[in-house]
Amino acid sequence: MAKKDFYEVLGVNRDASDDELKKAYRKLAMKHHPDRNPDNPKAEEHFKEAKEAYEILSDSQKRAAYDQYGHAGVDQQAGMGGGGQGFGNFSDAFGDIFGDIFGGGGGGRRSNVYRGADLRYNMEISLEEAARGTETKIRIPVMAECETCHGSGARPGTKPVTCTTCGGHGQVRMQQGFFSIQQTCPKCHGSGKMVKDPCPTCHGDGRVKQHKTLSVKIPAGVDEGDRIRLSGEGEAGVNGGPPGDLYVVVHLKEHTIFKRDGGDLHCEMPISFSTAALGGEIEIPTLDGHAKVKIPAETQTGAVFRLRGKGIKALRSSEHGDLMCHVAVETPVKLTERQKEILRELEEINQLDAQKHSPKAKSWMEKVKDFFQ
């Protein structure tokens, strides 16, 4: 397969400067590095392609030969590895990339100021509280700034000193052949400072574990899994960094009657055998009180009656949902002899014209017969 044009591989013009070449290569190497793409078999191929293109174009002699003769002008040189200048440029760029991939950062001391961690609090509320909204207090453990050292980690009256391992740069450079790799200083973890006399309260961490009580407003209409963000109520930042946020995650307690589906509510409504057959009126509970439902004669199990506007006004909706009542015809139990006698008599009458009185049963039996034929 013919090789791609090196300039196209890096995505630069043919008159690109050395800095533009280096920037383009670093971007591609970061994107296609095999360690960052363990599930992409083509990543290593793209990575090697970009590496070869930069190795040639970063060497002025190889680049001139490539510009004049194309791949034929550099294949032999590339195989011999000649041209120390090219390897020097490649080393600098590759070292910077290793720093970015494995945490070094490339160039200059890393900042030792970090934002505090976000926190999560799981809150259980009732369906009624979710529908109407509520306000409650919660108590959470957090890492707060140490009041003794004000977050420095050093004993009052003292200050952190320059790290002796990295000289205050926050990074150390490792040289392996022509590779130069920058890594975060293992002693100061990139801060460039060391605490020789730690604070007796926080033991040099700059933060202490505390509990705080917060008031949380739950808006009407929240649903399972909704999150309420309390800005700045997470853990304190490190070395003066901003605090994180607290996310209160809503969980709904199981309701004895209703099940929620967005703004709609569902409930099972048991009715007697006689009510289902003859019709009638029953009273059912709602979140706002009670409502009456008219049951027409000959109602079957599974019928659904909709009460409009008796559901919940969802958080991001302007209208209330509906209450869906699912009918379940209840079979009588613990029958007396008289009740049994009446039911047997009813069954005998029904059998005289089964298709008229039990159309579903008749239709089902016909389907069964067809199935076994």
Task: Look at residues 72, 92, 96, 73 and name the one whose alpha carbon lies nearest to residue 84.
Answer: 92
Structure tokens at 99: 């720093």
Structure tokens at 152: 């420095």
Domain ranges of the chain: 6-102, 119-252, 258-331, 337-373
Measure the CA–CA gap between 220 and 311, rounded to whole angstroms.
Answer: 13
Distance CA 347, CA 142 (A): 70
The CATH code of the domain at 6-102 is 1.10.287.110
Selected from 3.30.300.210, 3.30.750.24, 3.90.226.10, 2.60.260.20, the CATH number assigned to the domain covering 258-331 reads 2.60.260.20
| Model pTM score | 0.56
CATH fold for domain 119-252:
Chaperone, DNAj Protein; Chain A (2.10.230)
pLDDT, one tens digit for every residue, the chain (373 residues): 567 889 998 999 988 888 888 888 888 888 888 777 777 878 888 888 888 889 889 888 888 888 877 777 776 544 444 443 334 444 445 445 544 444 444 444 445 667 888 999 999 999 999 999 999 999 988 888 888 888 888 899 888 888 888 888 878 877 665 566 777 888 777 778 888 889 999 888 888 888 889 999 999 999 999 999 999 998 887 766 788 899 999 999 999 999 999 999 999 999 998 999 999 999 999 998 999 999 999 999 999 999 999 999 988 888 999 999 999 999 888 999 999 999 899 888 888 887 777 777 666 667 677 667 6
